[in-house]
Amino acid sequence: MTTLEVPVLIGRKRDGGELTGDELRDLMTAYVAGEVDDAQIAALLMAGVIRGFTHDEAVALTDALVASGDTVDLSELHGPTVDKHSTGGVGDTTTLIVGPLLAAAGCQVAKLSGRGLGHTGGTLDKLEAIPGFRVDLSPAELRDQVNAVGVAVAAATQDLVPADKKLYALRDVTATVASPALIASSVMSKKLAGGAAHVLLDVKTGDGAFMEDPDEARALAELCVEIGEARGRRTGALVTDMSQPLGDGIGNALEVAVAIETLRGERHGRLRQLSLDLAAAALELTGVAADEARERVLGLLDDGSALERFRAFVVAQGGDPAVADRPWDLLPTAPVVRDWSPDDPHITGFACRRFGELAARLGAGRLRQGDTLDLAVGLEVLVRTGDEVAPGSPAVRVHARTDEDAEAVLAELPSVVHTGSEPVDEVPLVLARVGLAEH
């Protein structure tokens, strides 16, 4: 493809036309080779987000992204290979719990993860809060670690779906994240290239998700499952609520600490509940009966097996294993901590996305491509919808670099945490199961 043809493709997409599989493959090849620049791809992405990509374009783009680089061969691993992916949310650190849980259950978890995108945190950024932790693994290192430990989480190297890596960063800074086709192709290209035979997706919906409408989230889940199954992978999805933060921490080190305390049995709530749901669903994909799967993962969490597998995982990737015992001592901490309490006693809801944006403003997320993160800062959200807060008890704790940063966030919290004088019901967590037996 010559550069002169790219404006034709942009114009066709702008006018509501469809690109062919060959065109998308050639375009991604040229983009990776540097023959098409970011401005042109950004224009195409924006045209597609506004006009919409078709189902066929989503499938073809997935294939084009996979074809842009190498794939990982996991066929020599001895256990069932499993990969789990979340479409992104606020306070979502399930990977750090589900990966060790599945490894303890005898699965082989090879996960290629990403950096923070938009208002959501990235698993790789969170893991780098652990002293010494290394996320850059070669395909051979990834395979060997999974064989030895049962779980590995790594960045996609330049040779694994390089086109998606470039698109991922560009979407973050061009407001082109929230497109079902772009999300599905990005997610499934990494899953297909990662080589796992079983793929479980956590598709978020609500104010804190890219897919705010539950019907659209289900459609995204169905598209991802369809792509995976068509390419020979046993694929399933849960559609889950993101109208409020999932875990108590929002921010890189905070989320790691919360995940570790959940593994240690010291925290309960929605993060623990969903981690168990996801791990059980993944086991179902490998052929384990639903009731047995749930009982098994609950036992492995409660008896400390998952925590020990997390420790081995940290050691294998160069991190300090003491983080599993003393997370708040080993992880970076912010110098300024401020509590906020609501005036009304009942929590009625959240502007969940705004929580993610406020954490990013503190330095926990990227506002521009290439921004350096402050791994220590963020928010602790100590309440959920339906809770009653005692007078003077903290509902949110702000971890900031400066007093000025903390005060700016505190001033916004009354509009982010919705409260009232009357109680409301709790919000369901799992809204739908796709490609899995209904409970």
Whether 167 contacts 38, CB under 8 Å: no
Q: Which amino acids are annotated catalytic?
A: 85, 164, 171, 186, 190
HEC letters along the chain: CCHHHHHHHHHHHHCCCCCCHHHHHHHHHHHHCCCCCHHHHHHHHHHHHHHCCCHHHHHHHHHHHHHCCECCCCCCCCCCEEEEEECCCCCCCCHHHHHHHHHHCCCEEEEEECCCECCECCHHHHHCCCCCCCCCCCHHHHHHHHHHHCEEEEECCCCECHHHHHHHHHHHHCCCCCCHHHHHHHHHHHHHHHCCCEEEEEEEECCCCCCCCHHHHHHHHHHHHHHHHHCCCEEEEEEEECCCCCCCEECHHHHHHHHHHHHCCCCCCHHHHHHHHHHHHHHHHCCCCHHHHHHHHHHHHHCCHHHHHHHHHHHHCCCCHHHHCCHHHHCCCCCEEEEECCCCCEEEEECHHHHHHHHHHHCCCCCCCCCCCCCCCEEEECCCCCCECCCCCCCEEEEECCHHHHHHHHHHHHHHEEEECCCCCCCCCEEEEECCCCC
What's the full length of the chain, in residues? 439
Whether 286 contacts 198, CB under 8 Å: yes
